[in-house]
Structure formats: structure tokens, C-alpha cells
């Protein structure tokens, strides 16, 4: 696919996704965003299991404080961060396919836009560092939406039936590397930027682990 066509699709996704400010003010109005909703199934692991996993990741209270600092830094940069991430996806045909129509193979701009709006809220949720039951439940919901058990249903689209697992942990590096310049853009000290960046790396890895649940055989997670 040529770059001009992709530029047009990404511009459409920005419009369809809406402004980051609306996601901050009314996340409940984001289509398909169900953090805290009654219909989200309960997580198959407990909050105690989550704490034990965080211990292994060396994720502690100082990381939560750093993430909350990052929320103030990132709140007015969400769309710019998404531009970088969507540009990365656009440059990789092996990732583009997951937003494509199953029949035509062409990227679905409305699908891109809907996912973008939730992705923007995900940035803010990650930076909020709120690891309660609702958050834990929603991580497993996100995992289902990547897998055949739930992909395409949220947005009612006819796209490929699964995001292959190999690309989910692979994207960890791109996401957490490219967010660093945004964390460093508000004049914080080098130590503060390092702390925020390290906390983001740990939090995204934690979430990727939780999202893996549908891909793992029963009893092996």
C-alpha cells in the first residue's frame, strides 16, 4: 500500500477517533470502552496473584508514583503519541493486516479510528497506575479482543479473526521506546524521566503478560 493512501487513512482515523481531550473528560462515552462496566467478566486471577506478578517484575510503589507523574506529562500529548504509534503500524504490512477488511484486504478507517480512541484512553489508564479489580478484569477483556474469542466483536467489523500473539510482546519495545521523548518534553530531571520510562516499561510488560491469557492452554497461565 502506498504512503499517500496510508496518510489518508490515518488522517481519517484521527477524525474518527476524536480528540484526546474528550477521552479524558468522558471515557465512558468512548465506543467499546468498558473499564469498570458490569458486563466485563471477572479476571481468572486474583488481586493477590497480580501483586505477586508485580513483585517478580520489580514493580513497586515508586513505579506507581512515576506513572502518575507521567499522566500529567502525557495528558495533552496523547494524540501526538498516537500519531507516532499509528505511523509505526502503518509502516509494517504485517501489522496493517490486523486492521484490514477480511475480504478486500484494505485497511478499515472506521476500525482504525475506533481503536485509536480506546488506545488514547489506554495511555491515560496506564499512567493512572490504578491496579484495582476493575482494571484487572479489563486487562483480560483486552486480551480476549486480540484473540479469536473476541476480536472484531467490539466494533462489529469483518476483519482477520486474530492478532497473532508474536506481535503483542514484540510491540512492547516499540511502544515503550517511542514514548520516552514525550516523557522528557516537560522539563523534568533526567532521573525523573528515567523513573517514568522504567515504570512504563514495567507496566506495559505487566499488561502484555495479562493479555496473553487467551493464547495459553488451560492451566498453564
Question: 8 is written with which cell numbers?
Answer: 489518508
**CA distance readout (Å), 113 to 119, 203, 208:** 10, 25, 22
State residue 148's pLDDT score: 98
How do residues 92-136 score in pLDDT, each as one tens digit?
999 999 999 999 999 999 999 999 999 999 999 999 999 999 999
Residue 100 has phi, psi (to 5 degrees) of: -95, 155
182 strand-pairing partners: none
Element (H or E) spanning 168, and its range? helix 167-178
CB–CB of 139/207 below 8 Å?
yes
Residue owning grid cell 492452554: 217
pTM for this model (two decimals): 0.89
Chain-centre distance of CA 15, in angstroms? Answer: 19
How do residues 154-197 score in pLDDT, each as one tens digit?
999 999 999 999 999 999 999 999 999 999 999 999 999 999 99
Hey, what CATH class is 3-17+43-215 in?
mainly alpha
State residue 211's pLDDT score: 98
Ranges of each domain in the chain: 3-17+43-215
Residue 26 pLDDT class (50, 70, 90 cuts): confident
159 strand-pairing partners: 101
CB–CB of 215/145 below 8 Å?
no
Amino acid at each position: 500500500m502506498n504512503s499517500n493512501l496510508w496518510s489518508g487513512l490515518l488522517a481519517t482515523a484521527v477524525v474518527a477517533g476524536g480528540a484526546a481531550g474528550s477521552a479524558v473528560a468522558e471515557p465512558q462515552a468512548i465506543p467499546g470502552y468498558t473499564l469498570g462496566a458490569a458486563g466485563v467478566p471477572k479476571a481468572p486471577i486474583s488481586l493477590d496473584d497480580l501483586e505477586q506478578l508485580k513483585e517478580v517484575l520489580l514493580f513497586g510503589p515508586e513505579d506507581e508514583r512515576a506513572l502518575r507523574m507521567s499522566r500529567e506529562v502525557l495528558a495533552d500529548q496523547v494524540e501526538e503519541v498516537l500519531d507516532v504509534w499509528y505511523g509505526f503500524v502503518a509502516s509494517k504490512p504485517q501489522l496493517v493486516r490486523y486492521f484490514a477488511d477480511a475480504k478486500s484486504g484494505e485497511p478499515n478507517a472506521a476500525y482504525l479510528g475506533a481503536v485509536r480512541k480506546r488506545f488514547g484512553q489506554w495511555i491515560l489508564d496506564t499512567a493512572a497506575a490504578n491496579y484495582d479489580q476493575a482494571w484487572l478484569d479489563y486487562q483480560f477483556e483486552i486480551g480476549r479482543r486480540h484473540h479469536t474469542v473476541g476480536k472484531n466483536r467490539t466494533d462489529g467489523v469483518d476483519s482477520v479473526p486474530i492478532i497473532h500473539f508474536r506481535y503483542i510482546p514484540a510491540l512492547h519495545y516499540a511502544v515503550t521506546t517511542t514514548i520516552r521523548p514525550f516523557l522528557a518534553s516537560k522539563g523534568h530531571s533526567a532521573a525523573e524521566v528515567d523513573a517514568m520510562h522504567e515504570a512504563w516499561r514495567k507496566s506495559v510488560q505487566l499488561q502484555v503478560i495479562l493479555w496473553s491469557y487467551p493464547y495459553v492452554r488451560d492451566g498453564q497461565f
